Chain A
C-alpha cells in the first residue's frame, strides 16, 4: 500500500482490511456511494474523509446539468426516493473547482460519470484520462432520474457493452460499471460489461419507485418516477450482488441500504469485495467509519488470526452448494 499517514494507525492491528480492486489500492473496503457524498468537501466537517477506503464523487456529465425541479426527495418507510436528476457542474468545472480539494486527500478518488449518448461517455472519459489523482471511473449506466441515457444503457446488454467499450477507448483508467437493479437479469448486464472490458462491477443504483400526493392527486415528483434507496432496498441489492458474483469474475462493489457493519458483512459474504455507503451518510455521517471498525471487529472475533478480508469474500456461496 502507499505510504499515507492514516494507515499507520491501522497497521497496529493484526487484521488487515486492505485490498486492491481493479488496481485501486484501498486501506479498507468501505467507500461512499456516488451522489450521497457530494465531492467530499461537504462531509469534511463531520468525518475524517481519509479514513474511508475510497471516495466516489457525484455523477458528472460533460456539460453542466441543472437537475430536476423540486421536490427532489421524499421519505419512505426505511428509505427515501430521490429525483435529483444528476445536477452537476460538468467535467471542466469539476476539474477546476473540485479536483484541488480531492487532490488533497490521501485516499483513492473514483469519479462517477454519466451521459446521454455513448459519445458523451467517451468524451468525459477522455477528458478525465490524464487528470492527476483520479484512481478510476465509475460508469453510471443506471441513473433513473434523467430523460435520456442513464438507466437506458443499463437495461440492455448490447447498450451496456457499447458504453463500456467506448469509455475503454477514451481512457486507460480502471473502469467500474455501475448497474441498475431495474432489470430482469442483472447478471446478463454484468456479463456484457465485463466482456467489454469492465474491471469491476458496482451495484445497485436506486430502484425505480414513485409516490403520489393524495391531496394534490398527482405524483410527488415532476418526473413521476424516482429512485428508492436506503435499508428498504437492501435485500434486493444483496440478492443481485449474489447473482453477479456467480456470473462474473471481476471484483464487485456492493451497495444498497448499507447502514451497519452487519449489513456490510452480508454483502461481503455474498460476494462483494468492497461496499459503498449511500443514504446512511445522511442519517449518520460516521456510518462509514463505524462500519470499518465493525468489519475489523467481526474478522477478529469470527476467524483465526491473520485472516484477510479477501478470504471471506463470497464465503456464503460455499455453504450454499448442495
Chain B
C-alpha cells in the first residue's frame, strides 16, 4: 500500500463557529508524521463532482492517540460535502504533504499572526512551540495576533490561551476585540521571529513590517491545487528571485520576505 495515502476514520465533525467546522480523524501513521504547516489533500466526494481534492491545513496532530484535526471553512461544494460527513465514515486523504514551519531557531520573542481560516496551521505550530518551550524550561510568553471578519466566525482563541500565549484579537467589524486588522496590533511590538498565515493583503502588510524591522518571518501560503504533490505545477507562486515555486511541494511554508504578493 502506498505510503502517504490513507482512508482515515472520522471521529468527529462539527461546526465550531459560523461556517467553520472542526473534523477529527483517526489516522495513526499520518498523525505520527505530521508537522505544523503541512496539509492533507482530501477527497470530498466519491463521485467526480467536485473532481479535485481540497488541500486543508493540519490544525493539530496527536501521535499518542493517533488523531489529526482539521478546521475548515465552508466556501464551496467541496467543503460543503466535507461538512456533511458523519462520525464513523472514512475519508480519503493524501498526506501529510508539504514542508512545515521551521521551529528550531533559538529565539526569545515569537509572534504568531493569523487571519481567518489561516489560524489553523498556527494552532498546531503553537502547540509544538509550547511543548518545546516547556521542555527547555523556557518561560517566555509568546504573542498571538488573530484577526476575524466578525465575532461569530472567530475560533481557536481559548486554545492559544490555554497554551499560555498572550492573545490579541481583532475583527473587521469590531464585534470582538480591536476593530481592524491583526497587523494593526502587532506594530507596537518587536519580535525575533514571526509565523504567519492568512489572506494575501494581511501577509503583504506583514511582509513590509518584517522587512522594515528585519525580523525573520515564515508564512504558510494557500493556493488552488490539483495534484498537491509537485507533479502538475499548478500551484505556482512567484518569488523575488528564483522564479516560481510550488506551494504544495516547495511550501506551503516560505520565508515571508521572498514571496511576491
Contact = CB atoms under 8 A, between A and B. Distances in A.
Interface of A: 35-38, 42-43, 45-47, 58, 66-75, 77-80, 82, 84, 87, 230-231, 259, 279, 281-283, 285-286
Given A38-B232, A75-B52, A259-B48, 15 more contacts: A36-B227, A42-B230, A43-B231, A45-B4, A58-B233, A71-B224, A73-B235, A77-B49, A78-B48, A82-B232, A230-B51, A231-B51, A282-B226, A282-B227, A286-B5
Interface of B is mostly: loop
Given A281-B227, A282-B52, A282-B227, A46 B232 contact: no
Contact of B232 (A35, A45, A66, A75): A35
Contact of A45 (B2, B225, B235, B244): B2
Contacts of B236: 67-70, 72, 84, 87
B238 interface: yes
A74 B232 CA distance: 13
Contacts of B238: 69-70
A45 B3 CA distance: 6
Contacts of A79: 51
A70 B52 contact: no
A42 B227 contact: yes
Interface centre among B4, B53, B231, by most A CB within 10 Å?
B231
25 contacts: A35-B232, A36-B232, A38-B230, A42-B229, A43-B229, A45-B2, A46-B4, A58-B233, A69-B236, A69-B238, A70-B223, A71-B224, A72-B234, A73-B234, A74-B224, A75-B50, A75-B224, A78-B48, A80-B51, A84-B232, A231-B51, A259-B48, A283-B51, A283-B53, A286-B5
B206 interface: no
A162 to B, nearest CB: 29
B2 A286 contact: yes
What bracket does the count of chain B residues touching chain A fall in? Answer: 20 to 34
A45 B227 CA distance: 13
B197 interface: no
B230 to A, nearest CB: 5
A187 to B, nearest CB: 30
Contact of A87 (B51, B53, B244): B244
B249 interface: yes
B204 to A, nearest CB: 15
A69 B244 CA distance: 8
B94 interface: yes
Contacts of B73: none
Contacts of A43: 229, 231
Contacts of A77: 49
A46 B223 contact: no
B243 interface: yes
Contacts of B48: 78, 230-231, 259
